[in-house]
A and B are shown apart, each in its own frame.
Chain A
């Protein structure tokens, strides 16, 4: 079945640094989504991408929908302690289809 690959499982950065996360697939997706989950809470949608090549920003976050439609990346600039959490990518093949999730990357930010 379809799988989304996120690696590494954990990332450790210093406050103020930029960080980039990739999400790759062997299958084509028509929608890419990035979520952040804080401990004990539900995932919150950060950025949604609907078109190949699309580059979208949300504050210090920037995400891109890969041209091949098999990958996406999320950049966080000038990290702050509240960026700590688990970042999930998710993809969809079409309207009303189920989402496929990556296993998530746990981000730690050292003050």
Chain B
């Protein structure tokens, strides 16, 4: 069966510091991968998605970037964090070749920027 992991689970970072969040998927090949941000008490905002290694699409211009160095690894980064980057970051995957678009979410990373 497929599993999705996110690391770390929680993170507290000062403003201006760099960021690296990792997402890995097991049990599937060539998945679509997604990064979402969820602000407190609000819905899900799609940040980036990837249909393959090195292929990244950005949804919202922002202080963040994403990379996919391996088939089942998705990285969310920032060179200098802003206060507004605080939130709950969720990684998700879906099957590339499926006729449906069901996405499965990871456990999330809680980021607090102080």
Give the segment of B66-74, B78-86, B93-101 that binds chain A: B93-101
Query: Is A88 at the interface (CB under 8 A from chain B)?
Result: yes
Those of A81-103 within 8 Å (CB) of chain B: 88, 90, 92, 94-99, 101-103
Query: Is B49 at the interface (CB under 8 A from chain A)?
Result: yes
A98 to B36, CA, bound (A): 12
Q: Which of B90, B101, B108, B110 contacts A97 (CB 8 A)?
A: B101
**Are A41 and B108 in contact, with the CB atoms below 8 A?**
yes
Query: Is A104 at the interface (CB under 8 A from chain B)?
Result: yes
A41 to B96, CA, bound (A): 25
**Are B105 and A95 in contact, with the CB atoms below 8 A?**
no
A99 to B61, CA, bound (A): 19
**Are A41 and B100 in contact, with the CB atoms below 8 A?**
no
**Are B102 and A48 in contact, with the CB atoms below 8 A?**
yes
**Are B43 and A95 in contact, with the CB atoms below 8 A?**
no
Q: Mark B43-77, 1 if CB is under 8 A from A, else 0.
A: 11010010100000001000000000000000000
Q: Which of B98, B102, B106 contacts A33 (CB 8 A)?
A: B102
**Are A45 and B102 in contact, with the CB atoms below 8 A?**
yes
Q: What's the interface size class on A, roughly?
A: 20 to 34
- A73 cross-chain contacts in B, Cβ below 8 A: none
**Are B100 and A50 in contact, with the CB atoms below 8 A?**
yes
- Min Cβ gap A107→B in Å is 14
- Min Cβ gap A44→B in Å is 7
Q: Given A96-B51, A96-B96 in contact, is the A88-B44 Cβ separation under 8 Å?
A: yes
**Are B102 and A31 in contact, with the CB atoms below 8 A?**
yes
Q: Which of B44, B46, B49, B98 contacts A95 (CB 8 A)?
A: B98
A sample of 24 cross-chain residue pairs with beta-carbon separation below 8 angstroms, ordered by A number, consists of: A31-B100, A31-B101, A31-B102, A35-B105, A41-B107, A42-B6, A42-B92, A42-B107, A43-B44, A43-B90, A43-B105, A44-B105, A45-B102, A45-B104, A48-B102, A95-B98, A95-B99, A96-B51, A96-B94, A96-B101, A99-B46, A99-B101, A99-B103, A101-B43
Enumerate chain A interface residues (CB-CB to B < 8 A). 31, 33, 35, 40-45, 48, 50, 88, 90, 92, 94-99, 101-104
